[in-house]
Amino acid sequence: MTGVSLVLLLSGSKNFKFDMLPFWKGDTALYWLLGLGLVGILTAVAGLLRKLRPLLVLYTVGMLGLMVYGFFMSPVYRFSGLEEAKWIAWTGLATLVAVAGALLQFKETRRA
């Protein structure tokens, strides 16, 4: 997210379309993508350092919700074919695995 939005913002490109982000359009979508990407990096680092661990869970659940709404529930976005639908389904599954991984940080470790 961060890389794509940064490249598009720095290049000044206007020929992009993010229909899966129903809340934001145009440059606003790029700034939101940049911000969300940076927040994701910060929450991942905080999770690795074992500080503010619930933020990583909240972030991954939020991204899963944004993805489910944007791709599957939004009246604006439409799949262009079966291959794209499969790709998005696999990406959604990977996001669900990311949520499970974020929750695993709260699992008690067994000591020998």
> Using one digit for the tens of pLDDT, what is the confidence trace for 47-73?
888 888 889 899 999 999 988 888 888
Q: Are 43 and 56 in contact (CB under 8 A)?
A: yes
CA distance 12 to 10: 5
25: which DSSP letter? Answer: -
pLDDT band at 14 (very low <50, low <70, confident <90, very high): confident
Secondary structure (3-state) at 10: helix
CA distance 18 to 97: 24
Which range of 17-21, 30-34, 88-92 scores highest in mean pLDDT? It is 88-92
Q: Give pLDDT, residue 112.
A: 64
Q: Give pLDDT, residue 11.
A: 86
pTM: 0.80
